[in-house]
A = this chain, B = another copy of it.
Amino acid sequence: MTTTSATNTAYKTLSKAMYNAALLGSTAALLGWEQETYMPNGGREHRANQLAQLAGMTHKMITAAEIGELLSTSEADASLAGEPTSESAVNLREWRRAYDRATKLPQSLVEEITKTQSLSQGEWAKARAESDFSRFQPWLEKILDLTRQKAECYGYPSDGEPYDALLEEYEPGATAAQIERIFTPLRDRLTPFVAEIAASTSKPAGVLHEIQIPKEDQKALSRFVSESLGFDFGRGRIDETTHPFCSTVGIGDTRITTRYRDDNFADALGSTMHETGHAIYEQGLRGECFGMPMGSTVSLGIHESQSRMWENQVGRSIAFWEWFAPHAKRILGVPALDAFTAERMYRDANIVEPSYIRVEADEATYNMHIMLRFELERALLRGDLSVKDLPAAWNRKFKEYLGIDVPDDRRGCLQDVHWAFGLMGYFPTYTLGNLYSAQFFETIKEQIPDLDDQFRRGEFSDLKSWLNQHIHRQGMRYHAGDLCTHLTGKELGADPLMRHLEGKLRPIYGI
């Protein structure tokens, strides 16, 4: 036996405490997943109470004074904290960040937010079903009020704004002003490009999405594609929800959900590939580092880069469709598909056209949905926009950016669950994900030159291994921006995403 120094003991005690907090957090994740999938309606209020209790307990565990002491003791040891990208230094850096943030929130606020989220989400579902914003309005006002309180507790620089305090939760290091600076050139180039596409007379036929496919066959196709891309069903499952998501509820247990529409199997397919991308990231984390930053994901933007890569860079490529088309025909077994070549499916999978629903939007216009939300939630938080004026503001901006009139709030500002959950500062991470995804993928194609040929053979393991090695197993070693520079040699920019979109869409649309 070697003698363990006091600092090593502190670090081990800290690790165990953070493991316990993460263990309880994973229990809450299961309750959250189950609430969306199988819980009967009668259990909603009790579930909200269960989640509030767990949130309160977890908050208490991670904000205990002992955690602060263990952190200080460990940080003072250069052998633990001295080398910035060593495992222990990364863990300490992120635990410190989380501790400082968590100790700024009173437990009563944490519990109230959690309970309100759960109830508010139920009301949002009813409001959306009835397209009745007035039903949701008081809940959003309450959520907004709680979110502002949260932002003020966290604090932000004097030249910043409340939005920055929230962003820090999802995309550490980013600010609203920075995001505006990245989004602006993207919009400047994307807007005329989308207009060019809209004006083109050479469009994909677009009838692939209109073929009626029974849900059970779509489920089989979802499972097939998810498994082929690399999702491990021994350590996960697929279920059905209103809004698709991915949730890890424990080591070796990552759940994805999707949704099925009889008249549009491409919708389920896209959602499944998207959530599979998230799940491959989660399944690729180091299980032995559960509860540690080294076993955690970098940011929502990086998380989204993984889902977008499998959904778009892979799932909307001609190479993918050359492999996938015969399997889709075989599994779906509808005669209407016989007439479709891989090329025609690929073209139909790449239709670009303004539409109302974000999660159904195409790869290009999707980013406009995001910019609109980013601006509106920023205005709500600043107090420049009141909740009651949200539908009108939404509809006005929608017309401005996408050129179409929103017919009702169900297809407008009530479409997303995010705000009902109090997720503000979250939306921009989706477009950051698109940007990271395109930039990473250019680098990967340089390093694996025959990637397209592999996809044509249904082989996705080289791509998965690359992501496992360079991103997933690195945990939070680098923040998002640094990871991007480290892997691609450049800061995040709009060029790779525009090259990806233009390179693919110009030939399809003959422009």
Measured CA separation A440–B330 after assembly (Å): 59
Residues on B with beta carbons closer than 8 Å to the beta carbon of A237: 38, 40
Measured CA separation A46–B250 after assembly (Å): 6
Known: A23-B53, A46-B251, A47-B253. 14 other contacts (CB 8 A): A23-B46, A27-B27, A27-B50, A30-B30, A40-B252, A40-B253, A42-B232, A42-B234, A42-B236, A43-B250, A43-B253, A46-B250, A46-B252, A46-B253
User: If the complex has contacts A40-B237, A234-B40, A237-B38, are A46 and B26 also in contact, measured as CB distance less than 8 A?
Assistant: yes
Residues on B with beta carbons closer than 8 Å to the beta carbon of A57: 57
Q: Mark A32-53, 1 if CB is under 8 A from B, else 0.
A: 0010001111111111011001
Whether the pair B34, A53 counts as a contact (CB closer than 8 A) is no
Interface size class of A (residues with CB under 8 A): 35 or more
Measured CA separation A24–B28 after assembly (Å): 11
A229 nearest CB across to chain B (Å):
17
Let me know if A249 is at the binding interface, CB within 8 A: yes
Let me know if A54 is at the binding interface, CB within 8 A: yes
A5 nearest CB across to chain B (Å):
28
Measured CA separation A151–B252 after assembly (Å): 35
Interface centre among A30, A44, A234 (most CB of B within 10 A): A30
Measured CA separation A41–B234 after assembly (Å): 6
Residues on B with beta carbons closer than 8 Å to the beta carbon of A47: 250, 253
A15 nearest CB across to chain B (Å):
15
Let me know if A235 is at the binding interface, CB within 8 A: yes
> For residues 188 through 242 of chain A, which have their beta carbon under 8 Å from a beta carbon of chain B?
232-237, 239
Residues on B with beta carbons closer than 8 Å to the beta carbon of A40: 233-237, 252-253
A240 nearest CB across to chain B (Å):
12
Residues on B with beta carbons closer than 8 Å to the beta carbon of A23: 46, 49-50, 53
A362 nearest CB across to chain B (Å):
33
A280 nearest CB across to chain B (Å):
14
Closest to A24 in B: B53
Let me know if A31 is at the binding interface, CB within 8 A: yes
Residues on B with beta carbons closer than 8 Å to the beta carbon of A233: 40
Q: Mark A50-69, 1 if CB is under 8 A from B, else 0.
A: 10011001000000000000
Residues on B with beta carbons closer than 8 Å to the beta carbon of A30: 30-31, 34, 50
Whether the pair B249, A43 counts as a contact (CB closer than 8 A) is yes
Q: Mark A244-256, 1 if CB is under 8 A from B, else 0.
A: 0000011111000
Let me know if A365 is at the binding interface, CB within 8 A: no
A145 nearest CB across to chain B (Å):
26
Measured CA separation A39–B49 after assembly (Å): 23
Whether the pair B20, A53 counts as a contact (CB closer than 8 A) is yes
Interface centre among A27, A38, A43, A232 (most CB of B within 10 A): A43
Please name the 6 residue pairs, one residue from A and one from B, whose CB atoms are nearest each other, closest first.
A43-B253, A42-B235, A42-B252, A46-B250, A46-B251, A43-B250
A356 nearest CB across to chain B (Å):
32
Question: A45 contacts which of B232, B234, B249, B252 (Cβ < 8 Å)?
Answer: B252
A17 nearest CB across to chain B (Å):
12
Subset of 17 A-B contacts with CB under 8 Å: A20-B53, A23-B49, A24-B53, A27-B31, A27-B54, A30-B30, A38-B237, A40-B233, A40-B234, A42-B234, A42-B235, A42-B236, A42-B253, A43-B235, A43-B253, A46-B251, A47-B250
Measured CA separation A47–B39 after assembly (Å): 19
Residues on B with beta carbons closer than 8 Å to the beta carbon of A41: 234
Interface centre among A39, A41, A251, A253 (most CB of B within 10 A): A253
Measured CA separation A44–B235 after assembly (Å): 10
Measured CA separation A250–B31 after assembly (Å): 12
Measured CA separation A232–B43 after assembly (Å): 12
Measured CA separation A38–B253 after assembly (Å): 11
